Structure 1
Amino acid sequence: MDHHTHTSGTGSTAALGGHPLHPMLVGFPITLFIGAFVTDVVYLATSGAFWAQSSVWLLAAGVAMGLLAAVPGAIDLLTIEHARRWRLAWIHGLMNLGLVALAAMNLILRRREPEAAVAPFGVVLSAICVGLLAITGWLGGEMVYRHGVGVSKAVGAEDADASHDAAAATGSAAHGSEHAAATR
């Protein structure tokens, strides 16, 4: 069995057509929050009002998408017994909620004067969000890739069966040619 086969995967209870929803959605807030940090840095370098306003829109969209991604994540956390009993899953979920709350605070600080709010607090809050994304992303990756949380129980089974069948066929052919050579 190779390292990509998860015979003990948990599956996902928040799925559409068998595809887990949480991983489909998390890329949006990740990209939007990183984008907000980048536009903050560009604003600091250029003083262009466009960049400060862009950060506001990116933060708003990131908060909305973060909350949307949290719904299937919470459903999986509460309905997958292995995840529910596992401290790492709770840390991942709670840190992400804290991250979204921090981004929402960052957004509120910028409501009236987006340009004035970038330095020093806005860019610092954006940088903290990016740092938290790195940590929570690593935790999520650990749950999926190392422990099979949310992974279909049958992932890799077809490939493993095909590899086994091919090896068996190759072994039989090799054994047959050895037998034929020995009987000559």
Structure 2
Amino acid sequence: MQSRLRVQGHPIQPMLVTFPLGLFVSATVFDLTDVIGGPAFLGEVGYWTSVAALVAAALTAVAGMVDLWDVPGDRTRRTAVAFNLVNAVMAAMFLLTCLVRSHSPQRGASAAILVTELVALAVGGVGVHLGARLMRQFDSGRAESGSLDALAGSTGEIARP
């Protein structure tokens, strides 16, 4: 399967997934620091980091839906759909915490919000596992990336410097 959205031959969606996941982890760390007694502004930083992660997750979901259009209807498609659904569930859980916090003047975190974020990150861990499986399924027909065959051009010759 070839992704429609590519940069220099590499699919965009696997690259984009790292942004919301990293931002969600960062937001949880900020909120953890706020809950355990750190400076109060870290709760607001965690809130705005979650908002940025939700924007990144929306863009990633669009790229994922475009890629999903061309996935063959077999095990790979089921894995791709599960991957996108799991990531959507994680984003929805963070959206819920953002909506709860949006009514607070300081947008600080609470223990319940922190627990929800930790559960959402656990769901995201399942998404990482599914994403790795998906990449292995996409790469199953190609040469091993660590072998010399991966360096071969379209003629089968190894490019020499």
TM class by smaller structure: 0.7 to 0.9
Aligned-residue offset at 1:85:
6.2
The reply on whether 1:20 has 2:11 as its aligned counterpart is yes
Change (3 A) 1:157 1:53: closer
The reply on whether 1:66 has 2:62 as its aligned counterpart is no
CA distance in 1, matches of 2:141, 2:79: 20
Residue 110 (structure 1) aligns with: 101
Q: Which moved more, 1:74-83 or 1:42-51?
A: 74-83
Change (3 A) 1:44 1:159: same
The reply on whether 1:52 has 2:43 as its aligned counterpart is yes
* More helix as a share of residues: 1
CA distance in 2, matches of 1:75, 1:122: 32
Corresponding residue SS for 1:30 = helix
Aligned-residue offset at 1:74:
1.2
- Identical positions, percent: 24
Structure 2, unmatched stretches of 5+, are none
Choose the corresponding residue for 1:127, options 112, 118, 121: 118
Choose the corresponding residue for 1:94, options 85, 92, 101: 85
Mapped contact 1:11–1:152 kept (Cα < 8 A): no
CA distance in 2, matches of 1:162, 1:16: 19
Across the aligned residues of Structure 1 and Structure 2, the Cα RMSD in angstroms comes to 3.0
CA deviation profile, 1:83-123 (whole Å, cap 9, x unmatched): 68632221111111111111111111111226576223211
Choose the corresponding residue for 1:40, options 27, 31, 35: 31
Residue correspondences, number: 155
Give TM-score, length-normalised by structure 1: 0.72
Change (3 A) 1:155 1:42: same
Corresponding residue SS for 2:110 = helix
RCO greater where, 1 or 2, for CA within 8 Å and sep 6 or more?
A: 1
Choose the corresponding residue for 2:148, options 144, 159, 162: 159
Mapped contact 1:33–1:59 kept (Cα < 8 A): yes
Mapped contact 1:14–1:21 kept (Cα < 8 A): yes
Mapped contact 1:77–1:83 kept (Cα < 8 A): no
Structure 1, unmatched stretches of 5+, are 1-9, 167-184
Counterpart of 1:37 in structure 2: which amino acid?
T
The reply on whether 1:138 has 2:129 as its aligned counterpart is yes
Corresponding residue SS for 2:36 = helix
Structure number with bigger Rg: 1
Counterpart of 1:160 in structure 2: which amino acid?
D
